[in-house]
């Protein structure tokens, strides 16, 4: 409903007497809209459904400071003369809980259906400039990206925005510093400026104009316009000199080890309040609600926060184990990496995170302490051509068809298990059959979210592409992967993908290739090896180095045997430890090449394994002359939505699930080795 509009209001500016506000509300209700506006409840001005203008907080105001918020009594008739409260429109456009998908287990197999919202038409009354800016930011994050949040799209489209000029900001407000207010410029359908006797009414969209025309209000007289201008000017003046935020972006990026982080972490309770009152924070988790026998389950998108313990958890622990890491993540994302990801700051200066922090941490002070550092160069993300090499083989490999854009959150495809190969005691390769062109069109290094009803979906790398399907090689580690590896021929599961950016296969053309795999890291590299074999003539020498824990943990044993015998590439294998029966090499994977004599200056390297192993490997390869921009790794993170909408897998300025999981070391920079990012 709300459309981008020019700062210039559409149509004439009109006048609505104070007592006639209900005419506006009635017109909106006549449109079938639920009206949400400010009301006083439990010692605060919150947003709630209102029946009439009488529900609005006439004569009430609010003062806020760090960790403090108090209602005030003005005793006048103004209904909107108060600073923002704890709630923002986000609660309605991006609700705390929203069902996104239903999974059912039927006789026919598993079925997935998206549960997109059919939201009732909504009118938001009293939206401030900072909140309009926040809506704009969430629109950009959730609607302009690679994937789209269907629930948000539906709710946003059903929302009519009546903005109100801010008259009395409070000490926590700093919209002038973020350039988002106090003036209401765009993003509204109708904008009001509240004066003692009534409202100056501007319209900002065709829908807004249509509504206001229907009321046929008198044109506002010039004195009212002057008074309105005074109100806004007063609000700006009340916030004093704006802060200079120019340094925040580069300064924070350059200060990951600033002592200020530890200091603020001592005060920070990790309670998540700042992130959950923030009008732009969009991080969520998916919660499974399954029935008693697990045949039906609903996935619910739930507000989450980078301050919770579980947020950055992956196999073996959390990427951000300390409060320091989490506070740095929040502030750095909001004021720095947000620029890299979305081209703006993630902060609109509404001050909620300051007022509603129980211990009164003030981001403005933290920025002053930490972000005073000079800028750092930001290498740009390489876009990887989506087409596989022209010489795409007829047998196994990624088909030449370009893969479609990532699916929206809802899109699970049911695929059949054609067969299983037990690779090791706890690892199974599922041979899956599907005709879904998107899945078949995936590229080496991409992954899928694999789901069974009642279990949380698991990100699994594709370990082979076939004309009629694909392979997933899965290690039974948690309940979900146990269930997946327990699947049998003829059973079905849901796949969402292919997701992420795969290996840059075209980089191999005309170059030598070094492939280093650690443990189950061989799985995502297997399709790449398929291509090497198929496109042998376009590629130089191929060297394949495999490291495994013990002989019993080796994957694809017969295939690897065939590669050794085939002689098309130099294959070397080692295990970390072995019994006396093992006659092959023993030692860490880098020993396979740390004394080699080949020249890597025209080679490209692909590495997959534990991060520590990839770091050691890349160092040795760098010594062999393979530069950072020719060394590609794939990262494990807490990937949950798979399309960059949930925030879990953030690493510095990247969402691993959509920007990666494949990165060149040049792209990652310090993020590759720094702990806690």
Partner 1 sequence: MSRDTGIDAALASGWFGAGLPDATRARLAALAELTSVATGAVVLREGAEVDSFGVVVDGRLAIRLAVPGRTAMTVLTVEPGDCIGWSALVPPHRATSTVIATEPTTVVTFDGPALRTAIDADPVLAAAVLWRVLEAVSRRLTATRTQLLDLFARADQEPW
Partner 2 sequence: MSPSSRRTAPRRPRVGVVKFASCDGCQLTVLDLEDDLLAIAERFDIVEFPEATSRRSSGPFDVLLVEGSISTDEQLEELLRLRRETTTLVTIGACATAGGIQAIRNWSDHGRWAATVYPRPELVDSLAFATPVADHVVVDAELRGCPIDPRQLLELLTALVVGRRPQLPDESVCAECKRRGATCVVVASGIACLGPVTRTGCGALCPAYGRGCYGCFGPRGDANVTGLLAGAPGFDDADVAARFAGFTVWAEPFRSVVDAHGGPPGAMPASAPRGSEDPR
Residues forming the site for partner 2 (CB under 8 A): 41-44, 46, 67-71, 86-87, 91, 96-97, 105, 266-273, 276-277, 287-288, 290-294, 302-303, 305, 308-310, 323, 355-360, 452, 454-456, 478-480, 482-483, 485-488, 491
On whether the CB atoms of residues 83 and 170 are closer than 8 A, the answer is yes
Partner in contact with 44, chosen from partner 2, partner 1, none, beta carbon below 5 to 8 Å by kind = partner 2
Give the residue from 25, 33, 301 showing the smallest Cα distance to 159.
33
3 state DSSP class of 141: helix
What is the Cα–Cα distance from 140 to 128, expressed in whole angstroms?
Answer: 19
Structure tokens at 322: 């300390």
Q: Please name the helix (run of DSSP H) or strand (run of DSSP E) that holds residue 273, with its range, or none.
A: helix 273-277
Site for partner 1 in 279-298 (CB under 8 A): none
CA 533 to chain centre: 36
On whether the CB atoms of residues 633 and 516 are closer than 8 A, the answer is no
Structure tokens at 658: 């959509």
On whether the CB atoms of residues 302 and 97 are closer than 8 A, the answer is yes
Site for partner 1 in 365-394 (CB under 8 A): none
612 in contact with partner 1 (CB under 8 A): yes
Residue closer to partner 2 by CB (options 358, 405) is 358
The per-residue DSSP string of 400-457 comes to SSPPPPPPPTT--EEEEEEEEEE-SSSEEEEEEE---HHHHT--TT-EEEEE-TTS--
Distant-in-sequence, close-in-space partners of 202: CB < 8 Å, separation ≥ 6: 9, 13, 184, 190, 191, 192, 193
What is the Cα–Cα distance from 670 to 408, expressed in whole angstroms?
Answer: 32
Strands 585-586 and 650-651: unpaired
Residue closer to partner 1 by CB (options 361, 616) is 616
Rounded least distance, CB 353 to partner 2, Å: 11
Residue closer to partner 2 by CB (options 85, 136) is 85
Partner in contact with 358, chosen from partner 1, partner 2, none, beta carbon below 5 to 8 Å by kind = partner 2
Residue closer to partner 1 by CB (options 382, 585) is 585
Partner in contact with 610, chosen from partner 1, partner 2, none, beta carbon below 5 to 8 Å by kind = partner 1
The per-residue DSSP string of 174-240 comes to -HHHHT--SS--SS-SEEEEE-SSEEEEEE-SHHHHHHHHHT-PPBPPHHHHHHHHHHHHHHHHHT-
Peptide bond into 182 cis (omega under 30): yes
Partner in contact with 105, chosen from partner 1, partner 2, none, beta carbon below 5 to 8 Å by kind = partner 2
Partner in contact with 609, chosen from partner 2, partner 1, none, beta carbon below 5 to 8 Å by kind = partner 1
- Contact letters for partner 1, residues 622-651 (x by CB under 8 A): ----------------x-------------
Strands 650-651 and 662-664: unpaired
Residue closer to partner 1 by CB (options 298, 638) is 638
Distances (CA, A) of 472 to 360, 428, 485: 49, 8, 10
Residue closer to partner 1 by CB (options 43, 619) is 619
3 state DSSP class of 505: helix
422 in contact with partner 1 (CB under 8 A): no
Partner in contact with 221, chosen from partner 2, partner 1, none, beta carbon below 5 to 8 Å by kind = none
Structure tokens at 393: 């083989």
Determine phi and psi for 161, rounding to 5 degrees.
-110, 120
Rounded least distance, CB 676 to partner 2, Å: 14
Residue closer to partner 1 by CB (options 586, 666) is 586
Rounded least distance, CB 597 to partner 1, Å: 8
Partner in contact with 316, chosen from partner 2, partner 1, none, beta carbon below 5 to 8 Å by kind = partner 1
On whether the CB atoms of residues 210 and 203 are closer than 8 A, the answer is no
610 in contact with partner 1 (CB under 8 A): yes
Partner in contact with 638, chosen from partner 1, partner 2, none, beta carbon below 5 to 8 Å by kind = partner 1
On whether the CB atoms of residues 464 and 395 are closer than 8 A, the answer is no
500 in contact with partner 1 (CB under 8 A): no
Partner in contact with 578, chosen from partner 1, partner 2, none, beta carbon below 5 to 8 Å by kind = partner 1
- Contact letters for partner 1, residues 570-609 (x by CB under 8 A): ----x-xxxxx-xxxxxxx-xx--xx-------------x
3 state DSSP class of 653: coil
553 in contact with partner 1 (CB under 8 A): yes
Q: Which of 68, 104, 416, 549 binds partner 1 (CB under 8 A)?
A: 549
Q: Which of 30, 233, 315, 562 binds partner 1 (CB under 8 A)?
A: 315
Residue closer to partner 1 by CB (options 414, 550) is 550
On whether the CB atoms of residues 286 and 480 are closer than 8 A, the answer is no
Give the Cβ contact number of residue 437 at 10 Å.
11
Rounded least distance, CB 287 to partner 2, Å: 6
Rounded least distance, CB 625 to partner 2, Å: 45
Residue closer to partner 2 by CB (options 95, 399) is 95
Site for partner 1 in 509-528 (CB under 8 A): 518-520
Rounded least distance, CB 583 to partner 1, Å: 4
Binding site for partner 1 (CB under 8 A): 313-317, 426, 456-459, 475, 477-481, 518-520, 547-549, 553, 574, 576-580, 582-588, 590-591, 594-595, 609-610, 612-613, 616, 638
């Amino acid at each position: 409903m709300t459309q981008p509009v020019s700062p210039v209001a559409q149509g004439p500016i009109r006048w609505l007497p104070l007592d006639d506000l209900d005419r506006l509300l009635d017109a909106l209700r006549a449109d079938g809209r639920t009206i949400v506006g400010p009301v006083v409840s439990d010692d605060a001005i919150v947003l709630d459904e209102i029946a009439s203008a009488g529900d609005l907080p006439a004569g009430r105001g609010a003062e806020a400071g760090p960790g403090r918020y108090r209602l005030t009594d003005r005793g006048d008739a103004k209904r909107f003369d108060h600073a923002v409260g704890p709630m923002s429109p986000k609660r309605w456009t991006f609700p705390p809980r929203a069902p996104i998908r239903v999974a059912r287990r039927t006789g026919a197999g598993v079925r997935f259906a998206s549960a997109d919202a059919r939201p009732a038409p909504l009118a938001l009354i009293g939206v401030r400039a900072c909140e309009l800016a926040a809506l704009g930011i969430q629109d950009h994050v959730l609607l302009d990206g690679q994937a789209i949040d269907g629930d948000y799209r539906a709710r946003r489209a059903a929302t009519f925005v009546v903005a109100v000029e801010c008259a009395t900001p409070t000490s926590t407000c700093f919209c002038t510093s973020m350039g988002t207010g106090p003036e209401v410029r765009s993003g509204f359908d109708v904008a009001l400026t509240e004066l003692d006797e009534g409202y100056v009414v501007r319209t900002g969209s065709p829908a807004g104009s249509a509504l206001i025309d229907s009321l046929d209000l008198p044109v506002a007289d010039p004195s009212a316009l002057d008074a309105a201008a005074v109100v806004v000017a007063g609000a700006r003046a009340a916030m004093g000199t704006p802060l200079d935020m120019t340094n925040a972006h580069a300064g924070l990026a350059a200060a990951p080890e600033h002592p200020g982080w530890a200091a603020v972490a001592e005060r920070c309770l990790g309670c998540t309040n700042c992130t959950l009152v923030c009008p732009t924070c969009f991080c969520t988790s998916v919660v499974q609600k399954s029935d008693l026998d697990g045949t039906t389950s609903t996935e619910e998108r739930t507000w989450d926060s980078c301050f919770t313990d579980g947020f950055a958890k992956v196999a073996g622990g959390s990427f951000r184990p300390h409060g320091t890491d989490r506070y740095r993540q929040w502030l750095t994302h909001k004021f720095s990496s947000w620029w890299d990801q979305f081209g703006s700051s993630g902060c609109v200066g509404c001050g909620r995170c300051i007022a509603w922090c129980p211990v009164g941490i003030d981001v403005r002070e933290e920025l002053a302490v930490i972000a005073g550092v000079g800028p750092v160069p930001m290498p740009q993300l390489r876009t990887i051509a989506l087409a596989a090499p022209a010489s795409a083989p007829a047998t196994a490999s990624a088909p030449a068809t370009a893969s479609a854009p990532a699916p929206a959150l809802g899109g699970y495809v049911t695929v059949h298990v054609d067969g299983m190969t037990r690779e090791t005691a706890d690892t199974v390769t599922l041979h899956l059959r599907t005709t879904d062109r998107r899945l078949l069109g995936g590229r080496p290094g991409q992954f899928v979210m694999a789901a069974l009803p009642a279990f949380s979906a698991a990100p699994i790398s594709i370990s082979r592409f076939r004309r009629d399907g694909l392979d997933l090689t899965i290690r039974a580690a948690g309940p979900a992967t146990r269930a997946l590896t327990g699947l049998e021929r003829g059973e079905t599961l849901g796949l969402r993908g292919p997701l992420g950016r795969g290996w840059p296969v075209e980089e191999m053309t005309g170059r030598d290739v070094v492939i280093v795999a650690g443990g189950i890291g061989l799985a995502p590299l297997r399709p790449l090896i398929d291509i090497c074999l198929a496109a042998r003539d376009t590629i130089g020498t191929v060297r394949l180095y495999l490291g495994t824990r013990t002989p019993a943990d080796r994957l694809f044993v017969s295939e690897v045997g065939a590669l050794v015998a085939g002689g098309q590439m130099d294959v070397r294998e080692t295990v970390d430890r072995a019994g006396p029966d093992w006659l092959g090499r023993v030692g860490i994977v880098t020993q396979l090449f740390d004394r080699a004599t080949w020249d890597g200056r025209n080679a490209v390297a692909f590495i997959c394994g534990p991060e520590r192993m990839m770091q050691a490997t890349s160092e040795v390869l760098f010594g062999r002359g393979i530069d950072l921009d020719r060394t590609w790794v794939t990262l494990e993170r807490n990937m949950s939505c798979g399309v960059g909408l949930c925030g879990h897998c953030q690493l510095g300025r990247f969402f691993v699930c959509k920007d990666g999981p494949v990165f060149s070391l040049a792209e990652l920079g310090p993020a590759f080795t720094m702990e806690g990012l």
